[in-house]
Structure 1
Amino acid sequence: MMYGSVWIPDWPVTAAELAEEVPAHTAAAVCAGRGVLATNSWARAAGIRVGMGRRAAHAACPEATLLSPDRERDASRFEPVLRALDRHIARITVMEPGTVIFAARGAIRSAGSPQLLAEAIVGEVADVAGCESYVGFGEGTLATLLAARTGTVLQPGASLPFIVNQPVKTLLMPFSTAQARSDVNQCLELLRKLGIVTVGEVRELGAPALSSRFGRIGLTLWQLASGNDAPLEVTGRSPAQFTCSRSFEPPLHTTDSAAFAAKELAGELGEEMTARNLGGGRLTISAALENGNQYERSWLIEGGGVRDVVDRVRWQLGSWIASDEEGSDIIRLELLMSDLQVSGQRPDTLWGGRTVGDEQASRSAARMQALLGEESVHLAEKMGGRTPREEFAERSWSEAPSRATAASLPWPGAVPHPAPTIVFPDPHHIDLVGYCGHSLIVTGDGMLACSDGCTGEIRPARMLEEHVSQPINDFAGPWIIEQRWWDPGRSRRAYLQTVSESVAALIYREDEAWYVEGLYA
């Protein structure tokens, strides 16, 4: 799918300039504990670079204004830019203040071409925020975000070659929350220590290797490196979504009151998500204003928690209340968390938890039961036993799983694995014939023998079922299973595995007759 992305370089400094915290046309930089995070062009001309320490930045340019990070300022000053983009794009998703991504096909069709759409967006952003912006188009999340860094339009089929030679650190770009970036960065640091330095090399590792070591994060990294839309699966509708809404009387008219409302509603949303072991996805904030206007904005929260939800709701409400429109007080607020992802995606577990696909399958099975009855959907449950028929049992989908511990017991003397992929409800009666031409039996000491007393090497040659002869190329066994000899309903069995040109089967002899219990794939 073709996506577009808008990127405003060094947005934290631009937001501070729009908030009049920095004098115009002077060097400025945003610094945190780990060093310089963003600079403007005057600071870069003076020698300040992203990543250098605060002292080094001050030494390079003593007159530069060094600011602390303020995510609320970044988000509130970004809202006018988003409204400007709404004039050209029907639906956008905010990765973080300064970066948005959107499905581009409709917008390109309306504008006439990607180049014309990019020109319109760049001009709109310049008029609203007075800053430079870049627009890029591509197939796949990572390619689109990278294309926006250089204002590139990637033609269909060009996205994967574009990203394979990029440094591995670019895989951090689609992740917006601090926790998600920290978890992903741990994975990338380990890959760099192993000599993986490009996106193409990550792709060559393959999905099984990455997912077995890093869980769902590893699978997401492989999808990104393969030019797919892994973190933007939220563009589709997932089976799980939660809504919290509230009306306000009197209306919210200050940022502080909006922050309190945001914390309360987001707390309710977070409790529901935590109870279901879900976290991250698409947060849609909808507000009705006193003047009759309706606002809606979507934020992507990749692997975030309740704190991330609260922050984004507070930023968004603050920017709406601070608008210059008459009657911008908020009378109703609704939060919709959709396309939810499973919590616990850190790399300290190998295979993660329930996936969105698992959740969708569960909902589908429950729907089928509601339509067709409780016994319409069954699944196999491991129970433990020595034969394939005893090892698994069926239960209704809605029935609670058995708490029996027999499945974890060793079961010595069981039929060797692998188990048949198909086990017949009623075993098929057959006849096993040896190379001597006579039917075979199993002796008391567990050996194959001819029913007619032939001597020499006894091997099964053919399996007869309803006058159909199936030649046997190889076999294994027999294995004797004699359980509960005191039970009249139990008989001694001898199992064999047979292989022919077209099928492999598990057969057994019981009460002077041969049966097929199951088939192997």
Structure 2
Amino acid sequence: MTAPSRTLVFWVPDWPIHALLRDQEAADEPQERVVATRAAESPGISEAPGAAEIPGISEAPDAAIPPIALLAQHRVVACSAAARAEGVRTGLREREAQSRCPTLVVHPHDPEVDGRRFAPVIAALEQLIPGIELRRPGLCAMRVRGPARYYGGEEPAAAALLRLAAELGLPLARVGIADGLFAAEQAVRATATTPGIEAPAEAVRIVPPGGSAAFLSPLPVSRAASAGFADLLVGLGIRTLGALAALPEDAVQQRFGAEGLTAHRRAAALGQDRGAEVRPRDPVRERAIELTFEPPIDTTEQLAFACATLAERFISALTADRLVCTALRIELTDDVGLRHEREWLHPHRFTAADTVGRIRWQAASAVRETERGGAGITHVRITPTHTDRAAAHEPGLWSTEPDTRVHHHLSRAQSTLGHTGVGTMELTGGRLLGDRQRFVPWSTARSRERGSRASAAGPWPGSLSGATPSRVFPSPLPSELLDAEGRAVGVDEDDLLTATPVRLRVGDLSLTETVQEWSLPWALRERWWQGTPTRFRLQLQLEGGDAWLLFHESARWFAEGRYD
């Protein structure tokens, strides 16, 4: 069994609190974007950007952070140092935390904010030291051998990371170095007086080579095992990692299985653990491309002509990496600082001509919406928001792609009539039949969101679950439902018809057949908090075989569709 390699762990304590504050700060500041795009070079050791180059980075000291707690399911998942000083701890219920600290400010925890705000931090770290594994937002690991050789030792390498952290507004960041990832994670949380720890600097904790087992020995067994397994070990009298490491490995595996073997190897500071080796993440390549104009361009055709080369470079760069773009975001900025941003989808893949066409359409809509002066567009940025392997978009053996001639002619007509001039219909979510239709412009991908309000998957209480009418009226037709004596049939308090329906009148149509069969009315209640009246739907069939779908609203009947 190989010995674990030397590992360095970079940790930002209370990162969820920092992420929340940075997100709030970014929301309060004017929305400005950094125009310069860093080229994606091969990973190497280089000078890292400062805090001023990364949006949302605050240099406020942690001592100025008030008592804050983040909650998930009414329990504290993270809190600031000021909150801990008042007795707030992770795992407390919300009311107990507030009773301990009356000035506590609580916010819901959003893991997406943690990851999004840590992304620029880890990108800056990768420019300083390549080959970083992101363990979770606020905690990352790397092999220490390369940085130690470059900077002249483990301590200088740690000092370089801490200097970068200070530039990024993270003065309380810490570095831990030990044999193996688990021991390094425990070292970064240790104090300067912990046995087996060397603290050459205030925020640096180093376990000497070969000393990880002795350092881990007095730690509680809960550090290396899950809560349930740790309780089991404590019940058996195994309370420390040293006691667990002293057991024979074969006996631990036979008694506790894979979970016990993993905890034993962690406690003994052995290699070949599934979490012992650092797995560097693939470097994130910046595929966005942009262009600045001086003087500004004021017409859509001039803008499209000027962006033709930009679109060719954008598509060629993706093609070189064997990728295709199925969704992209276009940002247009005018000379007075107004940014018009929109995301475009494509059912197949974007070409250079498609990209130029989207720029033209977006510029035309921006001119109509702004309604204020300005010399024109000064900056264009294209960012791929969804890419896919090119092999997945190649035509099949029998040409499964849409007819290229149809696509060509409809695209030409769309370029003349505008983005919404040519399109198809899409089935979306809704209760009434008229709400379930959506116009989709040609060369635009259909809705991909499942579970959203526009999704046809539902659920949609009160919607029609059976066969739908073959003819749906764009606007429901006013109708009358009468009984044998010519009186109007309505819906009573029990959600039932007030009389037996005999005659149906729909708009100007002359219907001579009497009503033969009808369903029970079913209620359609939605947005009652906004005062929307309750509607009742009804299916009925006439003697001639025609069937109708009606709904009742505010003492009136309307025809939604007709079954032919």
TM-score range, shorter chain: 0.3 to 0.5
TM-score when scaled to structure 2? Answer: 0.41
